[in-house]
Homo-oligomer: A and B are copies of this chain.
């Protein structure tokens, strides 16, 4: 591949390019970002070779789109308008249904592949990009049958170079699943942080008592609001359903505490301890 373009030079896109540079040493890497500081930072961090503009994607063999999911709805059709007939365009956003719909009828739909790498950290921006972020992680691919055979093949080869395992799903199943295992985790963590910060008004020394348990549970509350607001908006129905389930479970637990139903409290926790086995599966790369 001669020219690889990245649109959105943040944590995910930047980390992809850091690995691709090793695997495609012959390629020239270009970065496009609506924030010029991010693009320049990506260049000085050697994530990209050159800062480029959207029109330049006409020369690309590969375009990675890694931007907030609301912006992707507008940028993706625009990129598909501009690219040459050999180019592969991969979107890596955290929602898939609206994104797939945005290019459904595009004449170059077969040059597009919808993906979502289950990887990340709570940090953002080009400085957050790291090597090997995707190693042994899952790449969800949606509507693979709508991508041209040859481009399917190059995409999978690329994901294998990143040492990822590929899972195929429909966009609808993806958005539903991910509401539970990712979006709900972020909301539960943000609201925990908010609740404790509110209490701090009364109890100034409260964080002096916080230990590693609190730290772990609240870690995701460091995440970027600019990235997460459009995700929750776009996956609204599934996020609401997962939140309903969560609030109901919390309210029932609250009732058990209120009614001194220690047996119910114990059983609730004991049954959830099964998460030990499940997390062991995640750690071992399943």
The oligomer's copy count stands at: 2
Q: Which of A38-46, A52-60, A80-88, A266-274 contacts B (4 or more CB under 8 A)?
A: A266-274
Q: Do the beta carbons of B180 and A269 come within 8 Å of each other? A: no
Interchain nearest-CB distance for A16 vs B (Å):
16
Q: A71 an interface residue at 8 Å Cβ cutoff?
A: no
* CB-defined contacts of A176 to chain B, threshold 8 Å: 203
Contact among B138, B210, B253 for A118, CB-based, below 8 A: B210
What B residues does A187 contact at CB under 8 A? 250, 253
From known contacts A140-B209, A177-B203, infer whether A262 and B217 are also in contact, taking CB-CB under 8 Å.
no
| Residue from the list B210, B243, B265, B276 in contact with A222, Cβ < 8 A | B276
Contacts of A23 in B (CB 8 A): none
Which residues on the B side are within 8 Å of A198 (C-beta)? 245, 249
* 10 A-B pairs whose Cβ atoms sit less than 8 Å apart in the complex: A120-B213, A181-B209, A184-B192, A197-B274, A199-B245, A211-B282, A213-B220, A221-B275, A222-B273, A229-B269
